[in-house]
Amino acid sequence: MVRLMRHQDIWDIEAAESYDTPGTGMFAPDVLGPTVERLAELAGDGRALEFAIGTGRVAIPLSERGIPVTGIEMSPPMVAQLHKKADEAAIPVVLGDMVTAIAPGDYTLVYLVFNGISNLLTQAEQVACFRNAARHLSPGGRFVIELWVPELRKLPPGQQAMVWHSQPDYVGLDTYDVLLQQVVSHHFRIGEGQEAQLFRSPHRYIWPTELDLMAQLAGFELESRHADWARSDFTAESRSHVSVYRLPQDP
């Protein structure tokens, strides 16, 4: 199932047009505000590059803070939605994947938010993503990743599926292949009567320690890890983390 689903097919025109939820969900001020604040601080006086920039959820407010932002994105419909809200000259985007695509110039910050690195479905691709980030960064530059922590402790013994969220009009269900570290997220949106819509996306989950090793292979050192953008302590119970990796000042 996972290997038959490609993200370039998932993020089509319909998905792009329904992606933004202004003021709610991941677009809510209490979610987006701390994200932009922290990224602006890490970028300093330099330029920022967003891998998987999407419709500009983070890039647009970060650019409005005075940080020059460039993006890499594989989905033309997502880029089209972004450029309905921000001029292409203000936030240029390179079409391509975050493993191989090259954006011109040097950056003090590369960032990949909202579990984006898990969209790469092999360990080799994820390692290559780190190396591509390092390729774009000036000495001392930072690569920031926001990622969820696999919740395998909640998976019942012998079962492959887990409901992680449920409300009257929505059910979130994950199915796991623990041998390959693969998970498919199923999002059921329930309408009136018997109507329901299903959106699925495949991922490869990564343990924090495995992520640190990927960073080390690309020449990074872990600078900090927190449970969220507000820099809460990361603990064994944290469901996600914001990890900041940094290149040495001297190559």
Q: Are residues 174 and 65 in the same domain?
A: no
Q: Are residues 136 and 238 in the same domain?
A: yes
Q: What is the CATH number of the domain that holds 80?
A: 3.40.50.150
Q: Are residues 69 and 127 in the same domain?
A: yes
pLDDT in tens, the chain (251 residues): 334 456 667 788 888 888 889 999 899 999 999 999 999 999 999 999 999 999 999 999 999 999 999 999 999 999 999 999 999 999 999 999 999 999 999 999 999 999 999 999 999 999 999 999 999 999 999 999 999 999 888 888 888 998 988 999 999 999 999 999 999 999 898 988 888 888 889 999 999 999 999 999 999 999 999 999 999 999 999 999 999 999 999 76
Give the pLDDT confidence score for residue 193 in this predicted structure: 80
On whether residue 251 sits in a domain, the answer given is: no
Give the pLDDT confidence score for residue 158 in this predicted structure: 86
Give the pLDDT confidence score for residue 67 in this predicted structure: 98
Domain count, the chain: 2
Phi, psi of 240 (to 5 degrees): -155, 175
Q: Are residues 20 and 65 in the same domain?
A: yes
Q: Are residues 125 and 99 in the same domain?
A: yes
- Domain range for 189 is 152-201
Q: Are residues 142 and 186 in the same domain?
A: no
Q: Are residues 197 and 216 in the same domain?
A: no
